[in-house]
């Protein structure tokens, strides 16, 4: 256990040590510092001066060059680097591929199987707004929209009276979720890259515009939904990161309305709305 602790300490110290930045002024002064923000007209940084940690700023006109991670040895104490300021606000926008977990009914013809497979795949778009109480824990609000469309030709249906018929059918389905989130963030000690995990519970709606032959039907419903998120923010600049994420959304309908008429599904049956989302996007952190 002692050896493991020493190894972890060495790794952390090594990561911090290589994170020191260089600023060279127009008067050829070289500053071993930590750049904290870069604006079009100013560069903000922290450095040691007379054994004190001081925050400072220079006009860009006084800066000849600057380079992150230039120095191997830090002039700033490790304690300061480990406890430096962290972003309190995060806004993330994402989108990507989605796949529904709903099972395809058994004993179907090939054209019907293809139709249901098409319905299982779709795309999503979402946004998250988060506020962090400290470096690790935060709360937020999540929005998520899922879309899928499918067309089936000459699909065989039971008429419910022992007979059957064939018909063309199409679906244009939209699921929407909004709700509060609890967020856990793990910031990398040097790069400020971050692992993000979250859980959301909120309002989950179902809206499907169906066309059976020439007969339209609007199917609607709502339930309580849950989202479990796991993502990674890859820092591109002081404020912006490239976002990669995987989410699982859980929910299902037991009651729906079809053209305004309320229908209860048979006991034990649920219209699954659960899916997995694979996302890419951007996050703004401040």
Domains and CATH numbers, the chain: 21-82 (no CATH), 89-285 (2.40.160.20)
Contact 278, 267 (CB under 8 A): no
Task: Return the pLDDT at 7.
Answer: 43
Contact, 240 vs 262, CB < 8 A?
Answer: no
Q: Which two tokens stand for residue 161?
A: 């009276």
* pLDDT band, very low/low/confident/very high, at 68 (cuts 50, 70, 90): confident
**pLDDT category of residue 10 using cuts at 50, 70 and 90:** very low
pLDDT at 17: 43
More confident residue, 228 or 33: 228
Give me the phi and psi of 118, to 5 degrees please.
Answer: -60, -40
Is the alpha carbon torsion for 50, 51, 52, 55 positive or negative? positive
Cα torsion at 108, 114, 120, 123 (round to 10°)? -170
Q: Which pLDDT does position 274 carry in this prediction?
A: 97
pLDDT of 214: 86
User: Is the pLDDT score of 113 beyond 90?
Assistant: no
1-10, 42-51, 164-173: the lowest-pLDDT one: 1-10
Instruction: Check: CB of residue 279 under 8 Å from CB of residue 246.
Output: yes
Give, in order, the Cα–Cα distances in Å from 89 to each of 11, 187, 207. Answer: 29, 14, 33
Whole-angstrom distance, CA of residue 246 vs CA of residue 61? 44
- Is the per-residue pLDDT at 11 higher than 80? no
What does pLDDT average to over the chain?
A: 86
HSE toward the beta carbon, residue 202, CA cutoff 13 A:
17
Please tell me the predicted confidence (pLDDT) of residue 278. 98
Euclidean distance between CA atoms 100 and 188, whole angstroms: 33
Q: Which of 283, 79, 92 is nearest to 181 (CA)?
A: 92
Supply the pLDDT for residue 199: 98
The pLDDT score that the predictor gives to residue 162 is 66
Q: Is residue 5's pLDDT more than 80?
A: no
Average pLDDT over residues 95-124: 90
* Ramachandran angles phi, psi of 61, nearest 5°: -65, -20
- Please give the model's pTM, rounded to 2 decimal places: 0.70
Query: Average pLDDT of 43-49?
Result: 86
Q: What is the pLDDT of residues 163-213, one digit of tens each?
A: 677 888 899 999 999 999 999 999 886 667 899 999 999 999 999 999 988
Radius of gyration of the CA atoms of the chain, in A: 27
pLDDT beyond 90 at 224: yes
Question: Do 231 and 244 contact (CB within 8 A), yes or no?
Answer: yes
Smallest Cα–Cα separation from 195: which of 277, 99, 283, 133?
283
Q: Would you say residue 157 has pLDDT above 50? A: yes
Cβ 193 vs Cβ 235: under 8 Å: yes
> Residue 132 and residue 137: Cα distance in Å, rounded?
6
Confidence of residue 155 (pLDDT cuts 50, 70, 90): confident
C-alpha–C-alpha distance, residues 37 and 52, integer Å: 20
Taking Cα atoms as reference points, which of 187, 185, 112 lies closest to residue 150? Answer: 112
């Amino acid at each position: 256990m002692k050896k493991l602790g020493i190894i972890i300490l060495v790794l952390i110290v090594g990561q911090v040590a290589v994170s020191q930045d260089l600023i060279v002024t127009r008067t050829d002064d070289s500053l071993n510092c930590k750049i904290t923000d870069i604006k079009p007209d100013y560069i903000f940084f922290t450095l040691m001066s007379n054994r004190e940690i001081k925050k400072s700023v220079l006009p860009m006109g006084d800066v000849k060059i600057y380079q992150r991670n230039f120095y191997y040895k830090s002039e700033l104490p490790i304690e300061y680097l480990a406890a430096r300021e962290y972003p309190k606000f995060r806004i993330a926008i994402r989108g990507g591929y989605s796949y529904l977990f709903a099972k395809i009914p058994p004993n179907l013809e090939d054209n019907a199987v293809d139709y249901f497979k098409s319905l299982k795949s779709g795309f999503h778009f979402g946004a998250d707004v988060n506020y962090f109480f400290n470096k690790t824990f935060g709360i937020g609000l999540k929005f998520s929209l899922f879309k899928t469309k499918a067309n089936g030709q000459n699909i065989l249906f039971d008429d419910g009276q022992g007979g059957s018929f064939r018909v063309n059918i199409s679906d244009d389905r939209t699921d929407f979720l909004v709700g509060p989130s609890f967020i856990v963030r793990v910031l990398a000690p040097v790069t400020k890259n971050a692992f993000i995990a979250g859980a959301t519970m909120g309002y989950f709606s179902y809206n499907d515009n169906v066309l059976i032959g020439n007969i339209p039907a609007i199917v609607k419903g709502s339930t309580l939904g849950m989202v479990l998120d796991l993502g990674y923010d890859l820092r591109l600049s002081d404020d912006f990161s490239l976002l990669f994420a995987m989410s699982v959304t859980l929910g299902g309908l037991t009651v729906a309305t079809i053209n305004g008429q309320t229908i209860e599904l048979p006991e034990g049956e649920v219209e699954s709305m659960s899916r997995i989302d694979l996302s890419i996007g951007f996050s703004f952190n401040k």
